[in-house]
Every structure is written in structure tokens, then in C-alpha cells.
Chains A and B, each alone.
Chain A
Amino acid sequence: MSLGLPGWGLVLAAALFALGLAGVLARRNLLMILISIEVMLNAAGLAFIAAGAAWNQADGQVMFLFILAVAASEVAIGLALALRLHRETNSLDADAASRMRG
């Protein structure tokens, strides 16, 4: 089975996505979680680029730009919240923020 470059691009994107997801699940540090999310988002972006390449369209790259912008704003707010978390708990442990449950 020949996937071609776009096909391999998708496979790479999926692998990156899985790595990012694994990071979200495995890391306790909020910063690391944010970075992992970034990896997931960019994996999706990579998939768009690969798909766009396959169809010879620019749309995939446009979507990637959107994703970049949005990811940046997500991280901006994420960092702000991380800052507040650190100020309140003196740590960046995401599990520390688990007072609400049940």
C-alpha cells in the first residue's frame, strides 16, 4: 500500500497527536500539559497541511494559520491561569486543582 507523501503526513500527524495526548494524560505539570496540547493542535494542523497538499489546495494551509493563531491565544490564557495557580498553590501541579468533585 502506497500512502504517498500526504498519506505519510497524516500518519505523522496521528503519531504526533497521540504523543500530545499521552503528554496531557501523563504529565502533572500544568505547563507540560499546555505544551502537550500545543503538540496536539499542531498535529491537527499538520494533518490539514498534508490533506491540502493531497488535494493541491491552499485551504489546508489557511486552516493551519488559523490553528496557530488560536493555539497562541489558548496558550496565552493558559499561561495566565498557570501563573495564578502558582501564586495560589506554589506549584504547577494540575492535580492540585481538584477541589471540586462528586
Chain B
Amino acid sequence: MNGGSWNAIAPWLALGATPVAAMLAIALRRSHRATLWITVAGFGAGLLRIRPAARAAPLAVTPLLRVDGFALYFTALIAGAALVTALLAYPALERREERREEFYVLLGVAALGAATLAASDHFASFFLGLETLSVALYGLAAYPRRDPLALEAGIKYLVLAAASAAFLLLGMALIYASTGALGFARLAGALPAAPPSLLAPGAALILVGVGFKLGLVPFHLWTPDVYQGAPAPAAGFIATASKAGVFAVLMRFFFVFGGLDSWRTVSAVVALAIASMLGGNLLALRQRNLKRLLGYSSIAHMGYLLVALLAARYAVALATATAGFYFLAYFVTTLAAFGLIAALTTERGEPQEIADLRGLFWRRPFPATVLAAAMLSLAGIPLTAGFLAKFYLVAAGAAAALWMLLLVLVISSVIGLFYYLRVMMALFAPAEEAAAPLAPLPAGQGWLLGALLAALFWIGLFPQPFLRMILGLPLG
């Protein structure tokens, strides 16, 4: 470990130090506000260390981690998401929980796990990052102590995630058995000589683990339940950071092996993509619970992203840029949506039912606008970040000539529109049909949501700076 290495992994170190510091602070004195600030400072430091780290990249730090532009970009996204989540969670925790501080500890651990995934270059770091993330997420999901739904969410997530982790590990073991390598780079070298009889099932089992984390059909069943049961900030984090981390490792896998062809799993990934795009959108069609709806929506979005992944076989640069931009847009959008739910949380609970939001626009134009914009962005309508993300995605698909998948994408996203519109329709329902009033928006939350809203439109209208950043941070 030389100076360059330290510089390169400084963001990860900052993320790792944050929960430790928070824990220590809690041990000294419980203070919600102080814990928040420690966390924010830690995440902020991680973000600030991204740029210096980029100067040292690309660099292998130990055989386990590879710090390159791609990893740093995703780590920045994850750290940013964690930062926003912490800020969003504060008032909700303040209103509903008596033990608030540990939330931030868990959040930090989860962020570290996700970030580790983004840089992992080895089965061991892959597995460790994944489990660090998972174990922390169980806690986050089940955090509200009096909420039976949160408990249920935690149990379901734990049982299923652990089981799917076992699949993942078995898959790794099979591959290890057939190649004798655990690091991605060495694996790539050993692959051609490996017997396919173990390789193919091994790769399939790894896909099971990854598919579970991403919530791909048919491993998606947990998604709506966990999104619904987990507190909104936690759900937002699960939807964004955890998926981005797993997707990043998948992407790197692809990159290192030059596509999945050598893994004989292309058709499996295609099947997952189609099933997820259609399944996610179809399942959401008549959903009345906003959080579950977002859960289904995320299933579909991960399906869309698989198109980018598959496009990487033919257009690596475009595909990585697509994934990067898509996650940026998706992060901003999803955090805005969950953030709004969190911000409107009262002592009675979160405004989860779409019916709770009826006529919101006429009395509370700002929160309604935030949610409407988020829905439009998820639907991929111009002016919003989601539109350009979809544009990029279609570009990647078209560049790789994945016409069949694009057709499915088009059809499924039109099905998807239907439920986004249902949310919008509720927001703009006549004032006289309006539901019970919701909690007032805390000023800080207002600013935060305002910033997310602005980012949503800014990315959608003037994406050039972001594109330059993404294109400047290649896999390597």
C-alpha cells in the first residue's frame, strides 16, 4: 500500500469510518442531531475524496479491489444516495422512533458494502461487499420497532437474501472448482480451459444471487413487500444504492470477460430482462400502494438496465455510459419519490396509499410537483432526467441491434405509463375529492426535495456536464 493506493481507496475508507465514528459517538452520548452530522460529514468526506482518487485511478488495491473511474463514479452515486437518505430520514425518525441513531450506523455500513461491490474485482470482495450490504439492509428494513410490517419486511428480506446468497456462493464455488481462480482477471484467463459442465451452472447460480439483489423476475417477489414494510428512506436506499452496487459488479464482470458469451448465460440474461420488464410493469398495473408500486417499478427499471448490460457485448463504452447515466437519473428520481413519502410522514405513518395523495396538487403544489416529476421521470418523459436515461438506453440497445429487447422495452414501458399516470391522476384529482391533509413539509426537507427536483430537470435538460463526467470515468 503506497500513497497512491491510500488516495485511491480514501472514499471507501471514509465510508467505512463513518459508521464507526457514529457508533462511538452514540456510545458517548445519544444525540440524534450529532449522529446525523457525523454521518453527513463522513459521507461528504467520501464524496470529496472521489476527485483525488480519480487522479490515482485506475489502480488495483490489493487483489480484491480495483479503483477505476467506473468504481469511483458508482461509489460517488452510492455515497450521495446515502447522504440524501440520511438527511431524508432525520425528520421521519424524529417523528416516529425513540431509538434513532443506529439507523445512521446501519446506513453507513450498507453504503460501505455497496461501494465495495462497485470496486470489487474478486469473488471474495464481491461476496463480502454483498453481505455487508445485506446484513445492514435487514436492519434498516426492520428498523421501526413497533411496526409489524417493517418486521415482516425484515424477515422476508433476511430469509430470502440469505438463501440467495447461498446460491451465489455455491455458484462461485462451482466456478472456482472448474477454474481454480477467484479474482476476475485470473478467472478471465482460466476460463477458456475450464470444463463447461460446472461453469454454466455456476454462472447461472451467480445470476440467481445477483438477480435477487436487483429484484429481477422471478427473484423479485420480495421487492414490493420490503419496499412497503421498510421505512421510506430505507426503501429508497435499497432501491438505489444496493442495486447500483450489485449492477456495478455485474457490469465489471461483463467488462472483464468481454461479455457473457464465455459464461454461456446470455440467453439467461435475456430471459431475465424480458421477464423483468414485462413482469414488473404488469404487476404494478393496479397497485394502490405507492411504495409497492415503486417496488414493481424498480423491477422493471432493472430489467431495462439489463438491456444496457446486454448491449455491452457490442458497444462497451456506450453501454457503461448508459448504465452510469441511467443510475444517475434513477437515483435522483427514486430518492425524490421516497424522500417525499418520508417527508410527509406523520406520527400515524407514511402516506403510502395513492388515495392518500388525492388532490394534493391543489392544496400543496410543491410536494405534488415533486412526486409528479418523479413519476414522469420514471416514465421517461422529456424535460426530466428519466427521459434522457431512456434515450440513452434505447441508443445502447439500438447500437447493439437488440431490436427484440427494444420492442419489449417499448411495450412494457407503455404498460408502465399506465400506473405512473394513475399516481398523477390522483395528485391532480379535483380539490373537493381530496384526502385527509398530510404532515407539513419541514423546511430542510423542502430544500432537499427542491434540490432533487431541480436536479431532475437539470439533468434532463442540460446533461452535458454529467455526460462528460461519466465518459471521463471509464471502466479500466
A residues lining the B interface (CB < 8 Å): 6, 10, 13-14, 17, 20-21, 24, 30, 33-34, 37, 40-41, 43-45, 47-48, 50-52, 54-55, 57, 59-60, 62-63, 66-67, 70, 73-74, 77-78, 81-82, 84-85, 88, 94, 97-102
Contacts and interface: CB of A to CB of B under 8 A. Distances in A.
A44 B159 contact: no
Contacts of A24: 159, 163
Given A41-B166, A47-B173, A97-B155, A55 B131 contact: no
B118 to A, nearest CB: 19
Interface in B115-147: 123-124, 127-128, 131, 134-135, 138-139, 142, 145
Interface stretch (B13-21, B93-101, B174-182, B441-449): B174-182
A70 B168 CA distance: 13
- Chain A at the B interface: mostly helix, strand, loop or mixed? helix
A54 B195 CA distance: 14
A74 B127 contact: no
B455 interface: no
Contacts of B110: none
B159 A33 contact: yes
B303 interface: no
- Indicate the member of A30, A55, A73, A102 with the most B CB atoms within 10 Å: A102
Contacts of B148: 88, 99
Given A67-B169, A70-B131, A97-B156, A37 B177 contact: no
A8 to B, nearest CB: 12
Nearest to B171: A44
B128 A100 contact: no
A97 B151 contact: yes
- Chain B at the A interface: mostly helix, strand, loop or mixed? helix
Contact of A43 (B149, B162, B166, B177): B166
A74 B173 contact: no
Closest A-B pairs by Cβ, 5 of them: A44-B169, A47-B173, A51-B177, A40-B166, A55-B180
B225 interface: yes
Contacts of A13: 170, 173
Nearest to A52: B176
B212 to A, nearest CB: 13
A47 B173 CA distance: 6
- Indicate the member of B128, B149, B176, B292 with the most A CB atoms within 10 Å: B176
B102 interface: no
A15 B237 CA distance: 36
B135 A77 contact: yes
B158 interface: yes
Interface in B450-465: none
B162 A100 contact: no
Contacts of B162: 37, 40-41, 74, 78
A43 B139 CA distance: 26
B180 A85 contact: no
B158 A81 contact: yes
B165 A41 contact: yes
B214 to A, nearest CB: 20
A81 B142 contact: yes
A62 B173 CA distance: 12
25 contacts: A17-B166, A30-B155, A37-B163, A40-B163, A40-B170, A44-B166, A45-B169, A47-B173, A51-B174, A51-B177, A55-B177, A60-B173, A66-B127, A67-B127, A70-B128, A77-B135, A77-B138, A77-B158, A78-B162, A81-B142, A81-B155, A94-B155, A100-B228, A101-B225, A102-B292
Contacts of A70: 127-128, 131, 135, 165
Given A74-B158, A81-B155, A85-B155, A48 B135 contact: no
Nearest to B287: A102
A57 to B, nearest CB: 7
A48 B123 CA distance: 12
A10 B177 contact: yes
Contacts of A41: 162, 165-166, 169
Contacts of B353: none
Interface in B166-201: 166, 169-170, 172-174, 176-177, 180, 182, 198
B223 to A, nearest CB: 11
Given A21-B163, A77-B158, A100-B228, A66 B124 contact: yes
- Indicate the member of A34, A48, A52 with the most B CB atoms within 10 Å: A48
Contacts of B135: 70, 73-74, 77
Contacts of B163: 21, 24, 37, 40
B154 interface: yes
B220 to A, nearest CB: 14
Given A63-B127, A97-B155, A57 B180 contact: yes
B182 A94 contact: no
B295 to A, nearest CB: 10
Contacts of B176: 48, 51-52, 55, 59-60, 63
Contacts of B177: 6, 10, 47, 50-51, 54-55
Contacts of A14: 170
B131 A47 contact: no
B224 interface: yes
